[in-house]
A and B are shown apart, each in its own frame.
Chain A
Amino acid sequence: MSAPLAKAADAERVLDVANLRAYYQTWHFGISRDVRAVDGVTLHVDRNEIYGLAGESSCGKSTLIKTIVRAIRPPLAVIEGSVRFDFGGRACDIYALDRARLAGIRWRHLSYILQGSMNVLNPVRRVRESFVDFAFRHIGKPMPQFLALVEDHLARLRLDPAVLGSFPHELSGGMRQRVTIALASVCRPDFIVADEPTTALDVVVQKDVLALLREVQRQIRSSMILVTHDIGVHANATDRLGVMYAGRLIEEGRTGEVIREPRHPYTAQLVTSLPRIGDIEPKQGLDGAPPSLAAPPPGCRFHPRCPLAMEMCRREHPPMVEVAAGHRVACWVKAPPGGMAAP
């Protein structure tokens, strides 16, 4: 079940991201242009917890996880900050590893579940061969034992081992996504990154896939970052929630607290605008559009759309301030530094 609050301080940290800045840097004809997709993000993920990352498209959440798993390519570059993993006593900075050690860690300790399961499973190979391609070298057992282990793993996740003989196109979208989850967890990794794992699925299937994701995570006691824009998914699947806006983390805390008592005006707007069955009150969307990350507004990046914006918000970016145990908010109005946090 969900970890108690008290243990948060001494809980084992698996991922530590400190003041991470990652920009897309382009340089054409003497004009350089930076797209500040991740700008000063600090967060940590403890062992055996699911950390949710919420935010709308182009807020930098995909760039953030790409940077965390070091799947970056030019023009994306890390400007500042560090990403440190701790896989059971082997602490390492992922940007300090050489290629061989990185390849050893990938999938064994650090695996991913992506949105389009078709992009992970090779369309012209049977599912069994995808398992061999991804995991065989990490398990270090002869082939018959490896395949027996894969079948055991599928059985534990209540998937029919017969799927191993199918091609991806023969499986339904939900089934494919379940296979992808099994594939990502077969090596019992310490850390799983799930990028929009249920976005392409139907409501009914989505719930089952989320249940499976959570069950896998509990079985192998790994940590997970779950990225999705759907607050309903976060509410039902994650332990802690971080909300991103325009490249910055603006609020973070236990999922229940953030959704029930959002402090940042953007989070509040996101939560209150959700339609609910049984509620016919008129709801308003946010005016305006998310800012361009190439030329973000000065100060707090939310101020042009914020109903509470004051002079200060236009000048300086607010720091993350802890307003309650484990609940951090970046807002001059709702969480001014130096106490006096508004209720």
Chain B
Amino acid sequence: MSALLDIDRVGMSYVSGTLLARRVVRAVDDLSLRLEAGRPEIVAIIGESGSGKTTLARMILNLATPTDGVIRFRGTDVAKIRSNHARADFMRQVQPIFQNPFEAFNPLKRVDRYLFMSARRLADARGTEVDALADRALHQVGLSLAEIRGRFPHELSGGQLQRAAIARALITAPKLIVADEPVSMVDASLRMSIVNLFRSLRDELHVSIVYITHDLATAYYISDRVLIMQRGRAVESGAAREVLANPQHPYSRLLKASVLSPEDAGKPTIAANT
């Protein structure tokens, strides 16, 4: 089976300071991950902030170039993409969803504009096709163009706006979605509907999803595989249910022990981890 995404021992170093006070930060170090084509799955990447999750996402999206190793998408090295045509082709197949939908959309521009622009530029739609594509994508996330047309971001709730962001990503019928903390800014009562939506994207549209999160509970709920990162390194990976039910690495255990479960309600005996 060929690989959809093959992350082969990538690393990313950020250099700061001047010649004498040079500091090198290894944001991602020797990390490998492989997603197979033809078998859509949700891979959760879990870690605290500063563990390199977002750097990894940026490298997969070709927004940052790894300093070591190679990321191949369907066999081509994404860092070698040069021409506009090849870049547009890559963007058609790999789409991002960001953490805060209110920051992802310009507050002064209408939400539908982003959908139409994606449809024109990436899906090469013209005329009435544009509306049709946008409407179809919005229907896939439980919205419709009639609800969104002409609306500004502040007129929609956080949940609706995040759905619109997902719909925008779906316009080009991508093969891979990279979602960076997609539900952490969404209200609790709406969160599960977004999470369930990811599941239906995998099952019905056969999209693979790299789901970046620090929330172990939702990762357990939707993902097929997990990769736990600490300081840029993968410390544990495997089938989601097995890893999260019985973590082996001390850091994974610490993460699991830090989850505040509603089951403990009424006995506030919270103690520090150390």
Contact = CB atoms under 8 A, between A and B. Distances in A.
Interface stretch (A93-101, A102-110, A210-218): A210-218
B190 A286 contact: yes
Contact of B196 (A210, A236, A254, A282): A282
B260 A230 contact: yes
B195 interface: yes
A111 interface: no
B148 to A, nearest CB: 13
Interface string A265-305: 01001110111111110111111011000000000000000
A253 B265 CA distance: 12
A203 interface: yes
Interface string B71-113: 0000000000000000000000000000000000000000000
B188 A273 contact: yes
A2 B221 CA distance: 32
Contact of B216 (A203, A258, A274): A203
Contact of B192 (A258, A277, A283): A283
Contacts of B259: 203, 232, 277
Contact of B268 (A204, A214, A230): A214
Contacts of B255: 203-204
A276 B214 CA distance: 14
A274 B217 contact: yes
Contacts of B17: none
Interface stretch (B3-11, B57-65, B123-131, B156-164): B156-164
A285 B49 contact: no
A206 interface: yes
Given A277-B216, A283-B221, A208 B272 contact: yes
Contact of A254 (B48, B188, B193, B266): B266
A88 B195 CA distance: 48
Given A232-B262, A256-B265, A211 B217 contact: no
A149 interface: no
A208 B273 contact: yes
Given A275-B221, A289-B159, A56 B266 contact: no
Interface in B229-274: 241, 244-245, 254-256, 258-268, 270-274
A39 interface: no
Interface string A175-215: 00000000000000000000000000011111110111010
B187 interface: yes
A202 B54 CA distance: 14
Contacts of A279: 221
A269 B191 CA distance: 12
A284 B258 contact: no
B189 interface: yes
Given A2-B268, A270-B189, A207 B258 contact: yes
A234 B262 CA distance: 8
A235 B48 contact: no
Interface in B157-192: 157-160, 187-192
B266 to A, nearest CB: 2
A269 B214 contact: no
Contact of A285 (B191, B214, B245, B261): B191
A237 interface: yes
Given A269-B189, A283-B221, A290-B187, A232 B159 contact: no
Interface centre among B159, B189, B195 (most CB of A within 10 A): B189
Report, as a range, how many residues of chain A touch the other chain.
35 or more
A204 B229 CA distance: 13
Contact of B263 (A204, A205, A276): A276
A238 interface: yes
Interface centre among A2, A204, A270 (most CB of B within 10 A): A204
Contacts of A232: 259-262
A255 interface: yes
Contact of B272 (A202, A211, A257, A280): A211
Given A202-B49, A276-B263, A285-B194, A231 B268 contact: no
A202 B158 contact: no
Contacts of B158: 57
Contacts of A287: 193
Contacts of B265: 234-236, 255-256, 258-260
B196 A284 contact: yes
A239 interface: yes
A22 interface: no
Nearest to A239: B268
A237 B268 contact: yes
B261 A235 contact: yes
A212 B112 CA distance: 46
A260 B266 contact: yes
B192 A273 contact: yes
A78 to B, nearest CB: 26
14 contacts: A2-B266, A2-B268, A57-B187, A203-B215, A203-B258, A204-B48, A212-B272, A229-B188, A236-B260, A256-B265, A259-B265, A274-B262, A275-B192, A275-B218
Interface of B: 48-49, 157-160, 187-196, 214-218, 220-221, 241, 244-245, 254-256, 258-268, 270-274
Given A235-B262, A285-B189, 19 more contacts: A56-B190, A57-B158, A57-B187, A202-B214, A203-B216, A203-B258, A206-B260, A207-B272, A208-B274, A235-B265, A236-B265, A236-B268, A237-B270, A260-B265, A276-B261, A276-B263, A277-B245, A285-B194, A285-B195
